[in-house]
Amino acid sequence: TVYTMVDRETCIACGACSENAPNLFDHDEEGLSFSLLDQNAGNTEIHEDFIEELEIAEEECPTNSIKTATEPFTISVV
Ligand code: F3S
Protein backbone atom coordinates (compact mmCIF):
# COMPACT_ATOMS: atom_id res chain seq x y z
CA THR A 1 0.00 0.00 0.00
CA VAL A 2 1.44 3.35 -1.04
CA TYR A 3 0.35 6.94 -0.62
CA THR A 4 1.90 10.03 -2.11
CA MET A 5 1.89 13.76 -1.79
CA VAL A 6 4.11 16.63 -2.95
CA ASP A 7 6.10 18.73 -0.50
CA ARG A 8 5.12 22.07 -1.96
CA GLU A 9 7.58 23.88 0.30
CA THR A 10 10.48 22.34 -1.64
CA CYS A 11 8.91 21.86 -5.11
CA ILE A 12 10.57 24.18 -7.62
CA ALA A 13 7.89 23.70 -10.29
CA CYS A 14 10.25 21.93 -12.65
CA GLY A 15 7.39 19.95 -14.20
CA ALA A 16 9.11 16.58 -14.32
CA CYS A 17 6.62 14.73 -12.14
CA SER A 18 3.61 15.30 -14.36
CA GLU A 19 5.70 14.22 -17.34
CA ASN A 20 6.79 11.05 -15.57
CA ALA A 21 3.50 10.36 -13.82
CA PRO A 22 0.68 12.13 -15.65
CA ASN A 23 -1.93 10.06 -13.84
CA LEU A 24 -0.69 11.13 -10.45
CA PHE A 25 0.56 14.72 -10.55
CA ASP A 26 -0.54 18.04 -11.96
CA HIS A 27 0.49 21.64 -11.42
CA ASP A 28 -1.29 24.69 -10.08
CA GLU A 29 -1.18 28.10 -11.77
CA GLU A 30 2.24 28.73 -10.25
CA GLY A 31 3.56 25.46 -11.59
CA LEU A 32 3.80 23.85 -8.17
CA SER A 33 2.89 20.21 -8.20
CA PHE A 34 0.16 18.42 -6.29
CA SER A 35 -1.11 14.88 -6.10
CA LEU A 36 -4.06 14.64 -8.48
CA LEU A 37 -5.86 11.79 -6.77
CA ASP A 38 -6.71 13.62 -3.60
CA GLN A 39 -5.71 17.27 -4.06
CA ASN A 40 -2.40 16.52 -2.32
CA ALA A 41 -3.99 15.17 0.83
CA GLY A 42 -1.94 12.01 0.42
CA ASN A 43 -4.67 9.80 1.82
CA THR A 44 -5.76 7.97 -1.33
CA GLU A 45 -4.18 4.60 -1.94
CA ILE A 46 -2.20 4.48 -5.20
CA HIS A 47 -3.55 1.87 -7.59
CA GLU A 48 -0.99 -0.76 -8.50
CA ASP A 49 -1.17 0.31 -12.16
CA PHE A 50 0.40 3.63 -11.18
CA ILE A 51 3.14 2.42 -8.84
CA GLU A 52 5.75 2.29 -11.57
CA GLU A 53 5.19 5.86 -12.70
CA LEU A 54 5.14 6.98 -9.10
CA GLU A 55 8.56 5.42 -8.53
CA ILE A 56 9.94 7.15 -11.62
CA ALA A 57 8.53 10.50 -10.58
CA GLU A 58 9.95 10.09 -7.10
CA GLU A 59 13.39 9.22 -8.44
CA GLU A 60 13.44 11.99 -11.02
CA CYS A 61 12.29 14.89 -8.87
CA PRO A 62 15.37 17.13 -8.50
CA THR A 63 14.33 18.33 -5.04
CA ASN A 64 12.98 15.04 -3.66
CA SER A 65 9.62 16.67 -3.22
CA ILE A 66 7.58 13.59 -4.17
CA LYS A 67 6.86 11.97 -0.85
CA THR A 68 5.64 8.41 -0.47
CA ALA A 69 4.58 6.42 2.55
CA THR A 70 2.85 3.18 3.44
CA GLU A 71 0.43 5.02 5.73
CA PRO A 72 -1.88 7.88 4.71
CA PHE A 73 -0.43 11.33 5.16
CA THR A 74 -2.27 13.39 7.73
CA ILE A 75 -0.89 16.85 7.03
CA SER A 76 -1.76 18.50 3.74
CA VAL A 77 0.28 21.38 2.42
CA VAL A 78 -1.83 22.49 -0.55
FE1 F3S B 1 8.12 19.91 -8.18
FE2 F3S B 1 9.64 17.81 -8.18
FE3 F3S B 1 7.47 17.84 -9.58
S4 F3S B 1 10.32 19.92 -8.16
S5 F3S B 1 7.22 19.95 -10.19
S6 F3S B 1 7.60 17.94 -7.38
S7 F3S B 1 9.37 16.89 -10.16
Give the model confidence (pLDDT) of 17-29 as tens digits.
999 999 999 999 9
Query: How do residues 35-70 score in pLDDT, each as one tens digit?
Result: 999 999 999 999 999 999 999 999 999 999 999 999
34 band by pLDDT with thresholds 50, 70 and 90: very high
Decide: 77 in ligand 1 pocket, CB within 6 A: no
The interface pTM score, or ipTM, of the predicted complex is 0.98
Q: Nearest CA to 17 among 9, 28, 6?
A: 6
Q: Report pLDDT for 76.
A: 56
Whether the pTM exceeds 0.90: the reply is yes
Residue 10 identity (one-letter amino acid): T
Q: Evaluate whether 67 touches 9 at the Cβ level (below 8 Å).
A: no
Choosing from 4, 5, 12, 58 the residue with most ligand 1 atoms within 8 A of its CB, the one to mutate for a pocket test is 12
